[in-house]
Amino acid sequence: MKRKIIYQGAVLGFVGLWALFIVSSSARSADFALPAPVAEPSGDFRAFISGGAFWTGGEPIPYGSSFGAFGDFIFLLDPTVAPNVGWNAGTGFDYRLPASPWHVNGQFRYGQSRGSGSGTPLSFSATDTDINGNPETESGSATTSASLTEKHWLVDFGAGYEFPFAHNTFQVNFGVRAARLTATTTSPFTFALAISDPLAVPPDPTSQTENASSVTVQKSTFLGIGPRVGVEGSVPFGKFAFDYAANAAYLFGNTRINSESTSNLSVTSTPIGSGINLTENGITSSSTYGQGTAIINGDFLVGVSYWFTPAFKITVDYRLDAYLAPLRSFDINGNVVSHDRYYHGPEIMLVAKF
């Protein structure tokens, strides 16, 4: 919860600073007019590629299960799994129209991360009596683990208007953004039970074992599209420059959960012909959930660039991409819970000007 508040505070703080910037810009416009955009006769085309690492903030994904055995149940605690450090890549363009301050721009970004976890193994041993009052012992164990793969991508397309401030550049962008986030967990479970009743009277068995296993695959998905507004700019210092960019989007879409389980069960009783003896493999079950939703998405980056030539630069930046409650998952009790996602980390960007 503390991490969630920190991440949401960062996003809301960015939005507040952006709003303050807009208000202060409006106030200054009462004292002086913005300079007229410089419209060079030829167009200007810039393209970039980027790559880096990122960490994921937000709630971990729950997984777990319970196993039943002849009226007795072992409940596994509700473990969770979170992604480790991931990687991302991106590409995009910005084209300034000839003799115009107007731009056409777009970008595509993709990121992926993986994680793993294991629940605390549980075991028990107990003494009971059978239906005839004879003593019997029961012992059992259960284990669970999970692997997680998360993927996310976004596509932006739109236009921009550039305002020059001395040697600085400042551009306001607007357009449309589409984004998709997925989180897939694969969770195997195993359960074993042994019952010993040496004084059992036929047809009751003197011993019985049960072995059960299952694999659950849960995929949480969000897909949405909506309007986007943003700003970007650069402040040069010789061959170096301080670069910044920020966007805010409101995405309309759908969030879904698809959960499928495959189980196997075997029961063996001794002596042969007593008690229960069975083997069942490939027992399947599934659960689905879907709901229309709208979420807030925002991203910003700050970085330092170095121009090797007037047409080529390298940028080292830090970027945050935040999505508020895009994903859903089932917890151990079957309830639907939501997950924020904050992707943040350093990246290197190469920019070429044509």
- Quick one: pLDDT at residue 76? 52
Distance CA 94, CA 103 (A): 7
The one-letter amino acid at 243 = D
- The top-scoring range by mean pLDDT among 217-231, 263-277, 328-342 is 217-231
Residue 268, classified by CB atoms within 10 Å of its CB into exposed (0-12), middle (13-18) or buried (19+), is: middle
pLDDT in tens, 45-57: 999 999 999 999 9
H/E stretch holding 111 reads strand 102-118
> pTM for the full model?
0.83
Q: Is the pLDDT of residue 205 over 70?
A: yes
Asked if 64 and 333 touch (Cβ cutoff 8 Å), the reply is no
- Quick one: pLDDT at residue 206? 86
pLDDT in tens, 244-267: 999 999 999 999 999 999 999 999
Asked if 213 and 144 touch (Cβ cutoff 8 Å), the reply is no
- Quick one: pLDDT at residue 8? 55
How is residue 133 annotated by DSSP?
S
Asked if 105 and 94 touch (Cβ cutoff 8 Å), the reply is yes
Give the residue carrying structure tokens 């805010």. Answer: 248
CA-wise closest residue to 198 among 188, 190, 189, 208: 208
pLDDT in tens, 151-174: 999 999 999 999 987 778 899 999
pLDDT in tens, 175-203: 999 999 999 999 998 889 898 988 887 78
Q: Is the pLDDT of residue 58 over 80?
A: yes
pLDDT band at 4 (very low <50, low <70, confident <90, very high): low
**Beta-sheet pairing, 168-196 with 207-237:** antiparallel
Structure tokens at 260: 């499928």
